[in-house]
Amino acid sequence: MLYRQFETQEAIDLAYDPSKTADGAAAMARYKAMSAATMADLTAHTDVRYGQSLAETLDLFPAKTPGAPLHVFFHGGYWRSLSNKEFSFAARGLVEAGVSVAVVNYALCPSVTMGELVRQCQVSLLWLADHAADYGYDPGRITVSGHSAGGHIVGMLLSTDWQGLYGRSPSLIKGVTAISGLFDLAPFPYSWLQPKLQLTGRDVMTLSPVRIEPRVACPVNLVVGALESDEFHRQSRAYQVHLSERDTHRKVSVEAVPDCDHFTVIDGLSNGSGQVFDAIMRHIA
């Protein structure tokens, strides 16, 4: 076996490549159109640099009310494609609900390692906490979400030793929503992604949220499209068990969104509707 019951790369690819069962090209066209409309209609501070490399930028969409909570969104693309620009639409419904939103960009594999990609996302959160006064949001009310690879990223933010690495309180994050997240990297060295990801055995052990200790005690929502593969559902259920076993007091939910696939599950963020939007808003005080 390569991974669990999977004996071939073809079987792993079928389970973990959403474009084999859903129309990824149509989704990207839809994302781009919704994002262009969002950019046209909302105030945005674009390409704000949070780190040293060219990829370390974010787009910030401020709410109209000063002192609003901040939500931070991490995009998908299997760690090796896309950027925050295709996901600007994730800000629209939240901004209209009175929440400031940052949509974060990060360098992609194989130009950087998975570990460096995660580090950049950690730094983006610290930068946002430190620059709240510049953009008018409340650094004490930061929540995060991520889709697909972004779901893995927010899992890693939950597992970050914020105090030990950065001298920051783990209470920096008030709530997490991981959408179609990937919490165990073990199948991917045997998949079509490995030439881009170049994962080592050590990476699998140290960069899989389901294999390492969570450090942040905030509530977590895990959301998956009902039409996604069994493996996407299983990954979220396994992560729920992992989190609950290590903190029996933590609120962790798993929910499936009816009639949605891997790509359509986040469409409602563009107009402030649906289960993903509602899950995020539940964490925002």
Total-model pTM? 0.98
Task: Report if residue 251 sits inside a domain.
Answer: yes
pLDDT of amino acid 21: 87
What's the number of domains the chain is made of?
1
Give a yes or no: residue 4 inside a domain: no
- Is 243 a domain residue? yes
Decide if 3 is inside a domain: no
CATH number at residue 172: 3.40.50.1820
User: What would the pLDDT profile of 148-182 be if each residue is shown by its tens digit?
Assistant: 999 999 999 999 999 999 999 999 999 999 999 99
pLDDT in tens, 217-263: 999 999 999 999 999 999 999 999 999 999 999 999 999 999 999 99
Alpha-carbon torsion, ordered 166, 239, 120, 67, to 10 deg: -70
218: domain range? 9-282
In a domain, 83, yes or no: yes
Tens-digit pLDDT profile for residues 175-225: 999 999 999 999 999 999 999 999 999 999 999 999 999 999 999 999 999
Task: Tell me whether residue 2 is in a domain.
Answer: no
Task: Report residue 165 as tokens.
Answer: 């690495």
**Is residue 148 left, alpha or beta, with left meaning phi > 0 and alpha meaning psi from -120 to 50?**
left
- Residue 133 inside a domain? The answer is yes
The pLDDT score that the predictor gives to residue 285 is 72
224 located within any domain? yes
